[in-house]
A and B are shown apart, each in its own frame.
Chain A
């Protein structure tokens, strides 16, 4: 082996060790979360400051605690964001409860699925107007002032996370404008997060005694969410798509 090859081999070896456990070339047993990249604990931001790229908001959903049939998070989301809560195929749903069953083992799961706040969001890639965008702190939103309702983003989203508003809206909340002709999805309760709050689904899940959702800054090594994803095996849905989701799940077959 010539010296260049040796160096390359060492470099590739260490890179693979860092990125995950490679069991064959290009085949990884685990892909580690890229958490803990910031230098220290996040400082609470004043609402007058812009969102900071040193923060990456995310959620961890513990599927072993999420109860089948429970819809507390969905109902809280509807209340917080002024959604009608109806579930016709054309109605807005920011969180869906999805029931899964592995037919080979019989293992059943019930999980909430919402916008995964992808680091590489396909919805943003395809949006022709720039209405779909990712904030500095990782929250993916639709700027309804710019959205033309073409629904490309709905087609591009691998998680069916977005809804189109088909009918005139009523009962909007002052912090959550929404109207006919625009696409919308989970905002991570950005209006609360900007003021130091927590998404309503997380609060409702805790209040119901399940505590299945943890919200926090993935970049802050001291945050509960960063600690948890360091300690337990968690997965991003369809990690093969490499959208690098901010929402992670514990207890799903990876």
Chain B
């Protein structure tokens, strides 16, 4: 699994980031806080490549048709992948969404609008959403 991730990330990084990262850093992959529960709704290899398409498909079902609890829901991603320490997916390169997007050098703008804090409080630090932390 780890090897698969590194390979996938390596491809993504080469495709998207050009020669910005050195081979050693690429081989290591991003170091991310582990998910709070598992398993993921799809195979992680599939998710790495296609999560944005899944999200885009299911958002229309929720926004336009009112279907709640879709399989690929951004708030569900956040609930699972938020850091155990502060309940967020952004904040540092160890945080799940920010860390991987920084590694792959892909702009992440979901959280300009969406909450980046898990619904379920992880620890004492879980605030509703930290002001000024959208990025």
Contact B66 A178 (CB under 8 A): no
Which secondary structure dominates chain B's binding surface? loop
Which secondary structure dominates chain A's binding surface? loop
Question: Which among B64, B112, B119 is the interface contact of A143 at CB below 8 angstroms?
Answer: B64
Given A175-B75, A177-B115, decide whether A195 and B128 contact each other with a Cβ distance below 8 A.
no
A170 within 8 A of B: yes
Given A48-B69, A145-B59, A174-B117, decide whether A180 and B112 contact each other with a Cβ distance below 8 A.
yes
A179 within 8 A of B: yes
B residues with a Cβ closer than 8 A to A are 59, 61, 63-69, 75, 78-79, 112-115, 117, 119, 128-134
Closest 4 CB pairs of A and B: A179-B113, A51-B66, A47-B68, A50-B65
Q: Which residues of A contact B119 (CB under 8 A)?
A: 174
Question: Which among B69, B78, B114, B134 is the interface contact of A47 at CB below 8 angstroms?
Answer: B69
Contact B114 A177 (CB under 8 A): yes
Q: Which residues of A contact B63 (CB under 8 A)?
A: 141, 143, 145
- The A-B contact count (CB < 8 A) is 72
Q: Which residues of A contact B117 (CB under 8 A)?
A: 174
Q: Which residues of B contact A50 (CB under 8 A)?
A: 61, 65-67
Q: Which residues of B contact A238 (CB under 8 A)?
A: none
Taken together as a complex, chains A and B put the C-alpha atoms of A172 and B111 apart, in Å, by 9
Total residues of chain A contacting the partner, CB 8 A: 32
Question: Which among A48, A133, A139 is the interface contact of B68 at CB below 8 angstroms?
Answer: A48
Q: Which residues of B contact A178 (CB under 8 A)?
A: 113
Q: Looking across the interface, which residue of chain A has its beta carbon closest to that of B62? A: A194
